[in-house]
Amino acid sequence: MSNAPSDVGFFPLVYDELRRLASARLAGEAAGHSLDATALVHEAYLRLGDAAFADRSGFFRASAAAMQRILVDHARRKRSDKRGGGVRAVAFEEVSGCLDATPDFLLDVDEAMTRLAAVDPSSAEVARYRLFAGLTIEEVAEAMAVSRATAFREWAFARSWLATALDSAR
């Protein structure tokens, strides 16, 4: 088996882009944060395993979902009593992406996104791309093969829906 990109999938072709997105999301973190961009991208790669993807959009969809699971698992570990809980609440508007959120807030977002997916799967997918993969509206539109206007509308709905759900959870 050769190491040609066709044999190893999309990961080598998009590694730098995923690393850039993860780095941008982690830039606001406090020094000494236990999760860095490289670890996040590599963990996502390991979770994807040998999965085959028909195109770039499928790869980014799976990567965003994997990064969401990693961040939620990380938040659960941080929040657990044996690792010391006690975090402050953060308003939805304060969070530019979920990488810089507190563990409790991240878990609340994950639960709200599960409920949003039951109501509007497409808007939940846009939110996953925006919050967990750090994609711009233009990148989301490309990944989902929809117009920028559609991606923007779905993000506006998801953001509003999530803000309402998170406010009522407090």
Number of domains in the chain: 1
| C-alpha dihedral sign at 109, 112, 113, 116 | negative
Structure tokens at 129: 């791309």
Lowest mean pLDDT across 9-18, 33-42, 95-104: 95-104
Name the amino acid, one letter, at 73: D
* Choice between 61 and 162, residue whose per-residue pLDDT is larger: 162
Rounded-to-5 percentages of helix, strand, coil across the chain:
75, 0, 25
Highest mean pLDDT among 25-29, 72-76, 156-160 belongs to 156-160
| Higher per-residue pLDDT: 28 or 35 | 35
The least confident of 24-33, 93-102, 119-128, 138-147 is: 93-102
Helix (H, G, I), strand (E, B) or coil at 120: coil
Rounded mean pLDDT of 7-25? 71
Q: Please state, for a pLDDT cut of 70, what percent of the chain lies above it.
A: 72
Q: Report pLDDT digits (tens) over 116-162.
A: 999 999 999 999 999 888 889 999 999 999 999 999 999 999 999 99
Q: What is the pLDDT of residue 97?
A: 54
Residue type (1 letter), 48? L
Surface-to-core class of residue 149, CB atoms within 10 Å of its CB (0-12 exposed, 13-18 middle, 19+ buried): exposed
Q: Model-level pTM?
A: 0.55
3-state secondary structure string across 47-108:
HHCCCCCCCHHHHHHHHHHHHHHHHHHHHHHHHCHHHCCCCCCCCHHHCCCHHHCCHHHHHH
**Residue bearing the bigger pLDDT, 146 or 27:** 146
Q: Which of 103, 123, 109, 96 has the alpha carbon at shortest distance from 169?
A: 109
Domain of 23, in residue numbers: 5-168
* pLDDT surpassing 70 at residue 98: no
